Chains A and B, each alone.
Chain A
Amino acid sequence: AQKVTQAQTEISVVEKEDVTLDCVYETRDTTYYLFWYKQPPSGELVFLIRRNSFDEQNEISGRYSWNFQKSTSSFNFTITASQVVDSAVYFCALSESTQGGSEKLVFGKGTKLTVNP
Chain B
Amino acid sequence: EAQVTQNPRYLITVTGKKLTVTCSQNMNHEYMSWYRQDPGLGLRQIYYSMNVEVTDKGDVPEGYKVSRKEKRNFPLILESPSPNQTSLYFCASRATGYSGHYGYTFGSGTRLTVV
Contact = CB atoms under 8 A, between A and B. Distances in A.
Interface of A: 33, 35, 37, 43-45, 47, 50, 91, 93, 95, 97, 99-100, 102-110
Contacts of B42: 91, 107-110
Interface string B92-115: 100011010111111011010000
Given A44-B106, A45-B90, A91-B42, 15 more contacts: A35-B103, A37-B106, A43-B88, A45-B109, A47-B103, A47-B106, A50-B99, A50-B103, A95-B104, A99-B97, A103-B31, A105-B45, A106-B45, A109-B40, A110-B42
B45 A43 contact: no
A65 to B, nearest CB: 18
A24 B33 CA distance: 23
Contacts, number: 59
A22 B50 CA distance: 31
Interface residues of B, number: 28
Interface of B: 31, 33, 35, 40-45, 48, 50, 56, 58, 88, 90, 92, 96-97, 99, 101-106, 108-109, 111
A44 B102 contact: no
A44 B99 CA distance: 20
For chain A, what secondary structure do more than half of its interface residues adopt (helix, strand, loop), or is it mixed?
strand
A97 B99 contact: yes
Contacts of A47: 102-106
